[in-house]
């Protein structure tokens, strides 16, 4: 069993609190992604799980056993570093089999697992090379191979793809997803890239400034963000947020448009892909400023008088050029409401019940 | 474009000329040393500044090796320099690792104190050192030299080693520790092999410093048995004459161990051993 449990875990450097009261349970075999902007404490949290960073307060356990004072080597985990951290003076083969070498497994016994991991990662021809003779993607694979050969209870990934180019990143992302399907091990993955988070995770943990903002499945976070931060962090392009004030008939936007919604809402959010372009009427009228044609989609950067910029994304191609006036409709079920403190209003009601 | 191609040979010839001039300039004293060592005693003054000796002889070397105490001095120097280099490098490596990897209370003060020791001219502290060594009854012993040299070389060697450790990514140790190493195992199996160039540089630096040190050796050693080679060289200066030929021959011989030592460590001085560890 590799269930991990964090109970009000804290981290502070001197008086600076980096993480506050983190409560999180990671199920056996679950793929959890820690995501957040840089400096939010996600890497620190991962390093605490790995045992590379002491835990200031609270309790962390793996499989029910308290790990607070257990050395990294005894936690039975493997980690893939952002920098790959390959041993430069060892061949690929020795790099991958290093954990077995440390366990004093005889050379003959090491061959099997190393060869098997190398085969699945397409490294079988590179076993005699040294890290400096490998490309970035190959180094990344060796780092993953080393983790696989370690045969741990849990894998930790610290922004493993951020040094790769875009095409390779997509490829390795797939590789990691396959690895998780094949091994079924617990995996904790840190990234600042929300696309990686959405595609890989069983559950996403959104962190900001040392606090957990929300924990949920990718679709949960997309459809039911609990606060403004999560709403704007998850989803690409970002959610549009407009200020609102209570008034006659519902909520009044800056432009004077009226929307039906809870009266304590101060912010209204709608995702670019949910805004509809209509022939006439609609909720607001906007002027298109920049039109990006991606082929599959079109991004229209618009400006609404007294509201500000609004991004609209429509599927396929549409005939529109900068300067055109468009009527936009916000479908009622797709609009998110947030109170003055930025908390989602639906979430607040759920709590009351 | 055409002008550049026409200029290129001239330019590179100029570059080589400049390098050749520098090399000649730097090596000339060594050549002069060798030249005088090979000149027969009676011709040293008559040959004067002629660039080439009129007669070549090995007499000076023969005298130095077989008819003087030079081999004894030489042996003393080897013992002192090797022991100092080994002891200093070991301590400096440990201290440098600690400075590079750990945050601990008083670290800044230790660094400041170590820097402070490097600020005094040796002449200022030579008297107190003499007093200390004398009252310990260690005058005229090689041990006193080893202890003093080690103490004086540790600060610089520590900073040197620290910079080499700083150059090795922390991720490597952490990866090793996750792979199942204790911190010591990670140090031995991953960090140490990567620090070999740094260790070699430190060994070489301390060895040469100890090999050519004169001031302390002169103060702390009086007996012929414990003299190191720089002090021994002075015995060629007598009250009424200087045995230039023999002195130079001894000097040439003294270069040999230094050369051998660097020949031995030069393969570790090759740079770029850590390349490929992390995304660079």
Supply the pLDDT for residue B275: 46
**Is the CB of A131 less than 8 angstroms away from the CB of B175?**
no
CA distance A51 to chain B (A): 8
> When comparing pLDDT for A261 and B21, which is higher?
B21
Query: Could you read off the pLDDT of A44-68 as tens digits, one per residue?
Result: 999 999 999 999 999 999 999 999 9
Q: Pairing mode, if any, of strands A154-158 and A186-191?
A: parallel
Does residue B277 belong to the interface with chain A, where contact is any CB pair within 8 Å?
yes
- Tell whether B174 lies on the interface with A, counting CB pairs under 8 A: yes
3-state helix, strand, coil split of chain A in percent (to 5) is: 30, 35, 35
d(CA B192, CA B187): 6
Sole residue written with tokens 């040294």: A130
Question: B260 pLDDT band (50/70/90 cuts)?
Answer: confident
pLDDT of residue B269: 66
Residue B264 confidence class, pLDDT cut points 50, 70, 90: confident
Which residues neighbour B141 within 8 Å (Cβ) at sequence distance 6 or greater?
Answer: B226
> A72 to chain B nearest CA, in Å?
5
Residues in B closer than 8 angstroms to A139, CB to CB, are 276, 279
pLDDT at B278: 53
| Contacts of B159 by beta carbon, 8 Å cutoff, 6+ apart | B96, B114
Q: Which burial class, exposed, middle or buried, applies to B45 when counting CB atoms under 10 A from its CB (0-12, 13-18, 19+)? A: exposed
DSSP assigned state of A245: E
| Mean per-residue pLDDT over chain A, rounded | 91
In this prediction, residue B271 has a pLDDT band, given cuts at 50, 70 and 90, of low
How buried is residue B184: exposed, middle or buried, by Cβ count under 10 Å (0-12/13-18/19+)? exposed
Nearest C-alpha in B relative to A87: B277
Q: Are strands A203-208 and A31-35 parallel, antiparallel or unpaired?
A: parallel
Q: Are the C-beta atoms of A41 and A67 separated by less than 8 Å?
A: no
Q: Mutate which of B103, B178, B198, B267 to disrupt the A interface (most A C-beta within 10 Å)?
A: B178
pLDDT of B161 over the 50 cut: yes
Element (H, E) at B42: none
Instruction: For residues A189-201, give the mean pLDDT.
Output: 92
pLDDT category, B258, cuts 50, 70, 90?
confident
Is any Cβ of chain B less than 8 angstroms from the Cβ of A146? yes
The better pLDDT of the pair B95, B120 is held by B95
Structural domains of chain B, with CATH? 70-268 (1.10.3720.10)
A257: left (phi over 0), alpha (psi -120 to 50) or beta: beta
Write out pLDDT tens, residues A98-143. 999 999 999 888 899 999 999 989 898 999 999 999 998 899 999 9
- pLDDT tens, residue by residue, B197-240: 889 889 988 999 999 899 899 999 988 888 998 898 888 888 78
What is the pLDDT averaged over residues B117-124? 84
- Give phi and psi for A287, each to the nearest 5: -110, 125
CB B96, CB B158: distance < 8 Å:
yes
Residue A347 pLDDT exceeds 50: no
Query: Hey, is the C-beta of A83 within 8 angstroms of any chain B C-beta?
Result: yes
Q: How far is B181 from chain A (nearest CA, A)?
A: 6
- Compare CB distances from A130 to B177, B178, B276 and report the shortest one's residue: B276
pLDDT recorded at residue B266: 74
Q: How confident is the model at residue B5 (pLDDT cuts 50, 70, 90)?
A: low
Confidence band for A39, pLDDT divided at 50, 70 and 90:
confident
∠A263-A267-A273 over CA atoms, to 5°? Answer: 120
User: Where do the H-state alpha helices sit in chain A?
Assistant: 42-50, 92-96, 98-102, 107-120, 136-150, 166-183, 194-200, 218-223, 228-233, 345-352
User: Across residues B243-249, what is the average pLDDT?
Assistant: 88
Is residue B244 scored above 90 in pLDDT?
A: no
- What is the per-residue pLDDT across B55-72, written as a single tens digit (0 to 9) for each? 888 888 998 888 888 889
Sequence-ordered list of residues with C-beta below 8 angstroms from that of A162, at least 6 positions apart, any chain: A82, A191, A192, A193
Residue A29 has pLDDT above 60, yes or no: yes
Q: In the beta sheet, which residues pair with residue A290?
A: A301
The ipTM is: 0.84
How high is the pLDDT of residue A348? 43
Averaged pLDDT, A216-242 = 93
For residue B78, pLDDT over 60 is answered with yes
User: Sign of dihedral through CA atoms A57, A58, A59, A60?
Assistant: negative
Min distance B20 CA to chain A CA atoms (Å): 35
Which contiguous run of DSSP H or E holds residue B6? helix B2-38
8 Å CB contact between B93 and B199: yes
Interface contact B274, partner A, CB < 8 A: yes
Give SS3 for A275. coil
**Mean pLDDT on A334-353:** 73
Split at pLDDT 50, 70, 90, the class of A352 is very low
pLDDT digits (tens, 9 = 90+) for A290-319: 999 999 999 999 999 889 999 999 999 988
- Taking an 8 Å cut-off on Cβ atoms, the answer to whether A73 and B182 are in contact is yes
Quick one: pLDDT at residue A325? 92
Contact A163 B279 (CB under 8 A): yes
A332/A251 Cα distance (integer angstroms): 13
- Band (A1; pLDDT cuts 50, 70, 90): low
A143-184 confidence digits (pLDDT tens) = 999 999 999 999 999 999 988 888 889 999 999 999 999 999
Domains present along chain A, CATH in parentheses: 4-229 (3.40.50.300), 240-352 (2.40.50.140)
Of A18-27, A41-50, A172-181, A251-260, which gets the smallest average pLDDT? Answer: A251-260
Question: What mean pLDDT do residues B156-168 have?
Answer: 91
pLDDT given at position B4: 53
With bands split at pLDDT 50, 70 and 90, how would you rate the model's confidence at A255? Answer: confident
A78 to chain B: closest CA residue: B178
Nearest to A85 among B185, B193, B278 (CB): B278
**Predicted confidence (pLDDT) at residue B263 exceeds the cutoff of 70:** yes
Q: How confident is the model at residue B6 (pLDDT cuts 50, 70, 90)?
A: low
Q: What residue of B is the nearest CA neighbor of A77?
A: B178
């Amino acid at each position: 069993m590799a269930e991990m449990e964090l109970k009000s875990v804290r981290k502070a450097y001197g008086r600076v609190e980096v993480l506050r009261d983190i409560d999180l349970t990671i199920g056996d075999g679950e793929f959890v992604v820690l995501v957040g902007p840089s400096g939010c404490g996600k890497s620190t949290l991962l390093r605490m799980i790995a045992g590379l960073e002491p835990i200031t307060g609270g309790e962390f356990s793996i499989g029910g056993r308290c790990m607070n004072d257990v050395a990294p080597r005894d936690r039975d985990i493997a980690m893939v570093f952002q920098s790959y951290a390959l041993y430069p003076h060892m061949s690929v083969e020795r790099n991958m089999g290093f954990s077995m070498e440390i366990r004093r497994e005889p050379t003959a016994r090491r061959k099997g697992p190393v060869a098997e991991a190398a085969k699945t990662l397409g490294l079988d021809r590179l076993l005699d090379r040294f890290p400096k003779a490998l490309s970035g993607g190959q180094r990344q694979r060796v780092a993953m191979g080393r983790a696989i050969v370690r045969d741990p209870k849990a894998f930790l990934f610290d922004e493993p793809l951020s040094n790769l180019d875009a095409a390779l990143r997509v490829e390795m992302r797939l590789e990691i997803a396959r690895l998780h399907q094949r091994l079924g091990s617990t995996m904790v993955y840190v990234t600042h890239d929300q696309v990686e988070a959405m595609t890989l995770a069983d559950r996403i943990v959104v962190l900001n400034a040392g606090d957990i903002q929300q924990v949920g499945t990718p679709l949960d976070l997309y459809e039911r963000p609990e606060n403004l931060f999560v709403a704007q962090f998850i989803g690409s392009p970002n959610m549009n947020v407009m200020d609102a004030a209570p008034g006659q008939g519902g909520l009044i936007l800056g432009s004077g448009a009226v929307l039906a919604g809870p009266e304590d809402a101060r912010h209204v959010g709608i995702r670019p892909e949910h805004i509809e372009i209509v022939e006439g009427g609609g909720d607001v009228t906007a002027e298109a400023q920049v039109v990006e044609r991606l082929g599959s989609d079109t991004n229209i950067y618009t400006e609404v008088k007294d509201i500000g910029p609004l991004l609209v994304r429509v599927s396929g191609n549409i005939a529109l050029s900068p300067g055109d006036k468009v009527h936009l409709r916000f479908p009622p079920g797709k609009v998110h409401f947030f109170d003055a403190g930025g908390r989602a209003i639906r979430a607040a009601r759920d709590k009351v019940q | 474009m055409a002008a550049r191609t026409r200029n290129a040979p001239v330019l590179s010839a100029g570059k080589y000329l400049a390098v050749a001039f520098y090399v000649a300039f730097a090596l000339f004293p060594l050549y002069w040393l060798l030249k005088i060592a090979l000149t027969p005693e009676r011709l040293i003054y008559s040959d004067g500044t002629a660039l080439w000796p009129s007669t070549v002889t090995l007499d000076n070397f023969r005298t130095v090796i077989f008819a003087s105490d030079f081999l004894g001095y030489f042996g003393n120097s080897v013992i002192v320099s090797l022991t100092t280099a080994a002891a200093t490098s070991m301590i400096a490596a440990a201290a440098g690792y600690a400075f590079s990897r750990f945050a601990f209370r008083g670290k800044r003060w230790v660094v400041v104190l170590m820097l402070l020791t490097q600020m005094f001219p040796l002449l200022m502290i030579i008297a107190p050192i003499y007093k200390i060594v004398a009252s310990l009854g260690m005058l005229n012993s090689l041990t006193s030299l080893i202890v003093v040299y080690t103490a004086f070389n540790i600060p610089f060697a520590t900073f040197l080693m620290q910079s080499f450790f700083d150059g090795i990514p922390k991720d490597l140790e952490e990866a090793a520790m996750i792979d199942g190493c204790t911190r010591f195992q990670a140090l031995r199996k991953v960090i140490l092999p990567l620090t070999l160039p740094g260790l070699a540089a430190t060994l070489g630096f301390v060895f040469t410093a100890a090999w050519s040190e004169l001031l302390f050796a002169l103060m702390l050693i009086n007996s012929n048995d414990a003299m190191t080679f720089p002090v021994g060289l002075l015995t060629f200066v007598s009250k009424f004459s200087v045995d230039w030929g023999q002195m130079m021959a001894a000097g040439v011989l003294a270069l040999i161990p230094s050369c051998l030592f660097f020949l031995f460590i030069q393969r570790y001085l090759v740079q770029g051993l850590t390349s490929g560890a992390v995304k660079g």
